[in-house]
Every structure is written in C-alpha cells, then in structure tokens.
Amino acid sequence: MLDLINRRGDTKTNVSKVIWYLGVQNAVFYASQQALFSIMFDSPETDDEEKREKQRYFNLVNGMADSVIRGSGVYGALISTSKNLIIEILKEDTKEENVIKALSAISPPINKKVRQAFSISKKFIYQQELKKMKELGLDSKNPAILAGAEALSFSINLPADRALKKLNNLRTAFEEETEWWQSVALALGWSPYDVNIDEFEKEESRIKTRGLKERSIKDRKIKKRKIK
C-alpha cells in the first residue's frame, strides 16, 4: 500500500498483492479456521445451529479485520482489542469471563493463560463436569484428566492438553455415528465443535447407556439367584 501511495514499482503488481494478502489469503485462512466447509455437508436444522452458522460468518469477517488491524503494529493491537471488547460488552448474554478474555487479547501469551485458567476452573464448578468425573473414571475424556493436562500446559508450557485433545478427536473420528467428512476433518485437526458434533450430548448418552447396561447385568444376577 505504501508502494502504491509513493508510486514505487508496478501499479498492477502492487494492487494484486494488496488484493491477495488483504482479501483472498486472509479469507481462505479464516474460512478454514472456522470450518465453513461443514456448512456444505450439514445444513442447520435448529435455531441454535443457525445461530452457530451466523456466528461463524461473523468470526470470519471479524478475524480478517483483526488480522489487518493487528498487522499495523502496537496501535493496531490496541484498536483491535478495544473493538472486540466493545463487541463482547454489547452482547445480550455476555459474561464477565468473556470480557476478561477479550481484554487480555492485547497480549496473545497472556490471553492463552487466561483462557486456560478459566477452562480449568470450569471443570470443577459445573455439575455436569463433576458428574462426568465420577462416571468416566480413567477415560481420556474425563474432565479431571483434561484439567490436569491443561494445568501442565499452564504451569510449565508442556502441551499435554493439545496431545490429549488430538487423541480424543481421533477417538471421536472412529466412532460409528461420526460421518465420514467429520472423521476426515477431525483427523486433520479440527475440533468436534467445528464440525457440529455435540460432545456433551454424546457423553451424556454414553453415561446413560452405561448405567442401563449395569442395571441390566444386576437384574440378570438377581433373576438367576431367584431361579436357584
């Protein structure tokens, strides 16, 4: 852009570079990050899914804007953080946690630590997470084990949480109910959320099914004893 303003080099070359780096390359990167390809395979059926799709488009545009603004230096980082902070405050269902995350985004390393701290604390606050801890045992999807991995990453920068998430993604990819395109995306690094897989709902159904199996086994034992 400075070359265009100062009339340095070939105008067509400079314009094509501006279009490529600010538009095409930026859009491709953020579209892949938001897993927009999932819309081709899985059209929204509920209001929540429709909201999620709209949120992805918004994140695409917002991410592209942040990339350009932050690329301009320190002042750009301040403008980008202020913008995202205002967006978060204006949301109807905004939480104090999300405001703190948006504010800490001025420094990516600090933002990462803040997000990890909130993620760890959530696993020991919410009832559904505590329930999973009791039910799942030594399962790699147990919130307690995930929290331990995140704690290692938070304290000594050991990426145990990333390794565990990769393992869980691959486990989900090989499950029978997972569609082929979701399996491919999970194997390539996208998360279950990115490809419209509700992990919480899956774990709840597994726990319920496991409970039914245990009860049926107990019932069989009781019946056998009665027959004897």
pLDDT band (50, 70, 90) for residue 116: very high
Q: Taking residues 206-213, report their average pLDDT.
A: 56
Is the model's pLDDT at 106 over the cut of 50? yes
pLDDT at 217 (0 to 100) = 47
Which tokens sit at 100? 């703190």
What's the whole-number mean pLDDT along residues 180-193?
90
Q: What is the pTM of this model?
A: 0.70
Lowest pLDDT segment from 71-75, 76-80, 204-208, 213-217: 213-217
pLDDT at 42 (0 to 100): 74
Which residues are CB-neighbours of 125 under 8 A, at least 6 positions away?
none
Q: What's the mean pLDDT in 156-166?
A: 93
Mean pLDDT of 148-173: 93
Interatomic CA distance for residues 107 and 36, integer angstroms? 27
CA distances from 181 to 28, 159, 169, 197, 200 (A): 19, 27, 13, 12, 20
Q: Identify the pLDDT of residue 46.
A: 73
In tens, the pLDDT along 120-147 reads: 999 998 888 888 898 888 888 899 999 9
Got the DSSP string for the chain? -HHHHTT-S-HHHHHHHHHIIIIIHHHHHHHHHTTTTHHHH----SHHHHHHHHHHHHHHHHHHHHHHHHTT-HHHHHHHHHHHHHHHHHSTT--HHHHHHHHHTTSHHHHHHHHHHHHHHHTTTSHHHHHHHHHHTT-TT-HHHHHHHHHHHHHH--THHHHHHHHHHHHHHTSTTS-HHHHHHHHHT--TTTTT--HHHHHHHHHHHHHHHHHHHHHHHHHHHHH-
Distance CA 14, CA 47 (A): 44
Q: Residue 214: what pLDDT?
A: 52
- Is it the case that residue 205 has pLDDT exceeding 80? no
**CB burial class (10 A; 0-12, 13-18, 19+) of residue 73?**
exposed
Q: Cα separation of 80 and 38, whole Å? A: 28
pLDDT score of 45 more than 80: no
Structure tokens at 87: 């967006």
Mean pLDDT, the chain, rounded, equals 84
Residue 35: what pLDDT?
86
